[in-house]
Structure 1
Amino acid sequence: MTTRAVPFHCPYCGDEDLRPHGATHGTWECRACLRAFSLRFVGQLAPGTTADRIQGQQ
């Protein structure tokens, strides 16, 4: 796994012109809509797992 994964699209406008923002890991800026945002990898789910099961709601 790489230490820095690159998002392909801005989560706000969908544009592809993204650049790293500042020195903080996981922060990006969109040059099209001029927004800065951060992304964080939480983890992988086991096959067949849903968010409801993780929170104890079945």
Structure 2
Amino acid sequence: MSESRAAVIYYCPFCAEEDLRPVEEPRGAWRCNACARVFTVQMASLDTTRIPGRLREEAELQQQTPGGPS
């Protein structure tokens, strides 16, 4: 998997406070000053099947394809 730059986290997933600071270890981790938790956030995947524009595009492609639904 390629190394990517982490996005900025705006609130703590545990207590919802916004007072977060990046920490050096572990790499890409954040420390919440309100609840003292250190955490990382990682995206597992992107489900493109649920993007509304994608659903419309696929429906149009099926209509244009010979043998596709009418």
Instruction: Please give the TM-score of this superposition, normalised by the length of structure 1.
Output: 0.65
**CA radius of gyration, larger in:** 2
Structure with more of its chain in strand, by fraction? 1
Structure 1 moving runs of 4+ over 3 Å: none
Structure 2: any 5+ residue segments left out of the alignment?
51-70
Instruction: Please give the TM-score of this superposition, normalised by the length of structure 2.
Output: 0.56
Structure 1: any 5+ residue segments left out of the alignment?
49-58
Higher relative contact order (CA 8 A, sep 6+): 1
Contact kept in structure 2, 1:20 and 1:28, CA below 8 Å: yes
CA-based RMSD of the aligned residues comes to 2.0
Structure with more of its chain in helix, by fraction? 2
What percent of counterpart residues are identical?
36
Say how many residue pairs are matched: 48
